[in-house]
Structure 1
């Protein structure tokens, strides 16, 4: 009886913590500033929040996406930001087609890839 109760409590504890572990592991976009550079290209200043744990699990990129999901630009992040959260990095030279008025910005992490909070932003014209 005690063994069955112990298994039940362990299962209950694991089940209650699982959603926190799964959610906390994804990288979130928390702010985006878009500026026109001229010639149809744009600069994206993107703020990302992620519980970077070191080289094994960190936010390693952000992407600018068109409405069809096509990647218009990617900024690779080459190291963890364990002690700098949230952090802002920039990507210049992103070509946005003339008829496109909104893009989605998403963050990527080295374990979960995508899945965190994305932001839809207006392209200034």
Structure 2
């Protein structure tokens, strides 16, 4: 019985933690010369300086980081919010890129969200 209660408590905690992680809602990209300008929309229940979404990054399928956008303050009253990163060098032939978000409490999201590489996103 104790083991079952511990498992239920752990599952409830894991669900709560995941719910407080930043959510990648959308990504758009625009070709600018040889590089790309990537804009990402995040949602996160920022509560102030102790817990807020503080970065997102663009990765390849193998996890190579192409660029990181640091977020320097909480967005408590602006949810969801969109921020951009220029000069992202996407490898030739890449069909998709991945976006992963981070918050000050939970760190980087375990899952990166895939988006197709296209100039009309």
C-alpha deviation, 1:117, in angstroms = 5.9
Structure 1 gap segments, 5+ residues each: 1-7
Distance (whole Å) between structure 2 residues aligned to residue 17 and residue 51 of structure 1: 18
2:81 aligned residue: 87
Alignment coverage as a number of residue pairs: 114
Q: TM-score, normalised by structure 2?
A: 0.83
8 Å contact kept, 1:26–1:112: yes
TM-score (norm 1): 0.81
* Structure 2: gaps of 5 or more residues: none
Q: CA RMSD in A?
A: 2.1
Distance of 2:61 and 2:20 partners within structure 1: 26
- Whether 2:38 is the aligned partner of 1:35: answer no
**Residue 16 of structure 2 aligns with which residue?**
21
SS of 1:92 mapped into structure 2: strand
Give the distance between the partners of 2:96 and 2:43, measured in 1 at CA.
Answer: 22
Q: Which moved more, 1:106-115 or 1:54-63?
A: 106-115
Residues 60, 110 of structure 1: 8 Å contact kept: yes
Comparing 109-118 and 43-52, the one that deviates more: 109-118
Structure 1 Cα separation of the partners of residues 72 and 110 of structure 2: 19
* CA positional deviation for 1:17: 4.9
Instruction: Report the alpha carbon displacement of residue 106 of structure 1 after superposing the two structures with TM.
Output: 1.2
